[in-house]
Amino acid sequence: MLKKNISKEYILSLALFITSVNFILWFFEKFIFGDRVFFWDLPPIYCASQLFSNNLSPYGFFPDNPLADCVHNISNLNEGFVYVYSIHLLKFFNLFPELNFLIFKNIWFFIIFLITIFFVYVSKEIFFKKKNFFFYIVIL
């Protein structure tokens, strides 16, 4: 009898709700009340492109690591960062060596925002065609 009354959609909605609440609590704990930084992986990318534009290699640990110095100077993050991304990404970001870090971060935020809007739209069209858009946004 219990099996007939509880639908799969109800169970999935409950799991989604619990996961969403958990994520929101984690977000507040780490970013609002804690010391986490948004886009914490962006300073190593920016600094690596700066080093690469000056014919220095951003890869690897070595004494007086200029990547760690740059990351610490622009974002006050610790020196534990190492550049591990591909050479293609490094060459792409090397096209913008004159940009200030704050401008670079704002451009990055805008790109992430556009990708998120695109993701929401495409996933709505694929998975939730018959659902109300407001309900879909609440689920996200």
Tell me whether residue 66 is exposed, middle or buried, using C-beta atoms within 10 angstroms of its C-beta: 0 to 12, 13 to 18, 19 or more: middle
Q: What is the pLDDT of residue 32?
A: 78
Provide the whole-model pTM.
0.64
Whether residue 128 contacts residue 140, with contact meaning beta carbons closer than 8 Å, is answered with no
Q: What is the pLDDT along the chain (140 residues), one digit of tens a residue?
A: 456 677 777 888 788 888 888 888 888 888 778 777 777 888 888 888 888 888 888 887 666 678 888 888 888 777 666 777 888 888 888 887 788 888 988 998 999 999 988 988 887 777 777 766 666 666 66
Torsion of Cα atoms, 108 then 110 then 111 then 114, to 10°: 160
